Chains A and B, each alone.
Chain A
Amino acid sequence: MKTVKTATMGGRIVEPGSAMKFETGDWRSHKPVLERDMCIDCLTCWIYCPDDSVLVKDGKMGGFRYTHCKGCGICARACPKKAITMVEEDE
């Protein structure tokens, strides 16, 4: 919790990379789900994701970082193979 004593002057962020600590996954209403068989590992989704939430393992598409994925659906739109489907969260 930020108080008058702990809040930084002018709201500056003085710790680099601190966005990792701010989990935006609970903003999501739809989540991206990968159809592994259809994926060709082109990583277009990784390039397009505005939240660095497409994981890459050994140069291959490695799923999603659901703690930070906001569910914007850009990856699903960008995928040339339609390998990503947006699924409603409470389904």
Chain B
Amino acid sequence: MTGNLGINGDSAVALAWKQVDPDVCAAYPITPQTIIVERFSDYVADGEVETEFVCTESEHSAMTVCIASASAGARTVTATASAGLAYMWETLGIASGLRVPLTMTVANRALSGPLNIHCDHSDVMAARDLGWIIMFAENVQEAYDNAIMAMRIAEHPDVQLPVMTNLDGFILTHAIERMTPLDSHTVKDFVGEYKPLYPLLDVKNPVTHGVMDLQDSYFEHRYQVNQAMKASANVIEQVFKEFGKISGRHYDMIETYMCDDADYVTLTIGSTAGTMKAAVDELRAEGHKVGAVKLKVMRPFPAQKLRDVMAGKKCVAVMDRHLIVGVSGPVFLEVAADLMDLPDCPKLVNYVYGLGGRDVMVEDLKQVYMNMMNDKQDKVNYLGVKL
């Protein structure tokens, strides 16, 4: 399959899975992830893939099946959103702690309540400390590309960690965009054959997974997870480079836009990064020295890359599509901790925006830059809330 497609983000992820043909998919449908699972179960029913598709009764069970099947030695995928991710919570830590290299797509949606089905990052941000590699997509193309690259990253012997690829609910999951898929042979060659480490089904070399791990070794195992997470940065860059060769699409853990000579810079995750570039274009046309950074990979946290870009700027606004109630946005805290010992640390401000799918327009984002330039803002700001 080559040429361009008009396709929504969920269908693009399902297409990526179809081209990979993973061994196992265990999932439970939840808006706005539903189309991924529906499309993929079509492929299974039509015999277009050989995947074992397991319909579970909940997301907790889905993740449990995924952990078990990946531990057994099967390449395993799943997808969820919002409350589904929350329901998986305790098993997410098991996946990383037991070093299970499965991949999951999350269609970002607000956590209840009140009940809301639209985009924000409260689901993934509440799961950010659990040892998963976390990637985001700005558009449908990236959602497709990430789903393919994630397998190579997760399964690398230096990593052996689960990978979560995020795409913004409805904004990307349901909107039809132009996308250029790879042909299926190229995808299969790129992901290669899955070679599990210590699979449970290797009866000649019996192993036990998931044993009790008490005071004398739990700490060491968590430290190993931390080491693997840090080591994954090199693997991610390598996989991005190889993917660039086969696709012509070159990614980095952060993407900078007009930052070199900029005095005022924003940091954004997900689809808003695209809107932010439009805001930068308009302000640049008016002669303002502004730039934008997109955080594509949040775990591992690309600390040095951000320091290199942000050092010496006048002001940096961190955009958070999630609110740690009573504190600020979470990405703001991480950026502040990262930059605080820079001798030329910029002024840092936070904008919490877009909760529950609240639209954010180019004009809103231009206002963020204007506030920075006029220094008319608080440390933590709530963009678009009707006070």
Q: Which A residues contact B (CB, under 8 angstroms)?
A: 1-4, 7, 9-14, 16
Known: A12-B209, A13-B211, A14-B207. A2 touches B97 (CB 8 A): no
Q: Are B207 and A10 in contact (CB under 8 A)?
A: no
Interface contact A11-B217, CB-CB below 8 Å: yes
A4-B98 Cα distance, complex, nearest whole Å: 15
Minimum distance in angstroms from A56 CB to a CB of chain B: 24
Per a CB cutoff under 8 Å, which of B100, B160, B206, B221 touches A7?
A: B221
Q: Tell whether, in the assembled complex, residue B208 and residue A9 are in contact, meaning their CB atoms are under 8 Å apart.
A: no
Asked if B213 CB lies within 8 Å of chain A CBs, one says yes
User: With the chains together, A4 CA to B209 CA distance in Å?
Assistant: 18
A12/B224 in contact, CB under 8 A: no
Known A2-B216, A2-B217; contact A9-B224, beta-carbon cutoff 8 A: yes
**Roughly how many angstroms separate A14 CA and B209 CA in the complex, as a whole number?**
9
9 A/B residue pairs, CB under 8 Å, sorted by A: A1-B216, A7-B217, A7-B220, A9-B160, A9-B224, A10-B97, A10-B209, A12-B98, A14-B207
A8 → chain B closest CB, angstroms: 8
Contacts of A1 in B (CB 8 A): 216
A4 touches B206 (CB 8 A): no
Question: Is the CB–CB distance between A7 and B224 below 8 Å?
Answer: yes
Considering only residues 83-137 of chain B, those with a C-beta below 8 Å from chain A are 97-100
Contact across chains for A10 and B98 when beta carbons are under 8 A apart: yes
Q: Contact at B99–A10, with CB atoms within 8 Å?
A: yes
A10 nearest CB neighbor, chain B only: B99
What per-residue 1/0 map shows which CB atoms of B195-228 lie under 8 Å from chain A?
0011000000111111101001100110110010
Cα A25 to Cα B157 with chains together (Å): 38
Contacts of A12 in B (CB 8 A): 98, 198, 207-209, 211
